[in-house]
A = this chain, B = another copy of it.
Amino acid sequence: MSTSVANISQYSGEAKLGRATPSICESVLPGGVSKAFAPRQDVFYEGDEKRSVYQIEAGAVCLYKMTVDGRRQIFDFAFAGDVIGLGAADVYSCSAQTVGATLLKSVPVSKLHQLASRDPKFALGLYRAISTELEATRDLLLTLGQQNALERVAIFLLTLSQRNERIGRNPRLLTLPMTRSDIADLLGMSTETVSRCFTKLKEQRLIDIIRGSLIQIIDHAGLQTQTRKVNVH
């Protein structure tokens, strides 16, 4: 194979946990029915027959699985523009619940399959969309498997910052729609540790906690440094 020097993950550049781009452009996704969801309302359950996929028009949704003992692993937070419920299986492979008040457009999978089996461009769009999800999940896996608590939280904040930048919002001011518990279940740690990490980042003057759910990034570069493991042997 070629002799690459790029055998290093995205951590050498930008950290990211969420999807890099909206999974499918609105222009590609066929029209459906919009419906308002309350905060903490279930959208679909793992194992249920898959009748629809949903595009988020406003709000946020978390994708997760539960273990038999009640632990929860969140795979991703999906925001406006993102599509949830994709995948070739005929049942949902994970559960989905709104974080705050959310507006969802539901699209029947029958329509999706109809379009996909007729239009290769559309089928490739599905392929592209789920490829993006896979990459995001792998990045999160790398974070859970190889980074410590502080690094995980720093990466999480930077991911939200990048997202803000992408959609034209202030990348230094983060409004967190999710609770500390949600963040904990995404990053594989306890709410207490998440809280302690926020405090530590604040003490290091990398962020400011204006309100529990309102974070200002003071030192973006410093946060990024925080995400690189500095091995002190």
Q: Which residues of A pack against B, CB within 8 Å?
A: 1-2, 4, 6-9, 11-12, 42-49, 65-73, 75, 86-89, 93-95, 116-121, 123-124, 126-128, 130-135, 137-138, 140-142, 144-147, 185, 187-188, 228-231
Contact = CB atoms under 8 A, between A and B. Distances in A.
Nearest to A186: B145
Contacts of A7: 45-47, 66, 95
Contact of A228 (B68, B117, B134): B68
A11 B131 CA distance: 25
A12 B68 contact: yes
Contact of A146 (B43, B67, B128, B135): B67
A128 B228 CA distance: 35
Contacts of A144: 141, 144-145, 188
B68 A2 contact: no
Given A130-B131, A131-B130, A119 B116 contact: no
Nearest to A185: B145
Contacts of A142: 65, 67, 73
Contacts of A228: 67-69
A138 to B, nearest CB: 5
A119 B127 CA distance: 14
Most chain B CB within 10 A, of A46, A65, A124, A141, is at A141
B69 A231 contact: yes
| A-B CB proximity, top 9 nearest | A145-B188, A6-B47, A123-B123, A69-B229, A88-B128, A4-B45, A9-B65, A88-B131, A73-B142
Contact of A11 (B11, B67, B132): B67
A188 B45 contact: no
A93 to B, nearest CB: 5
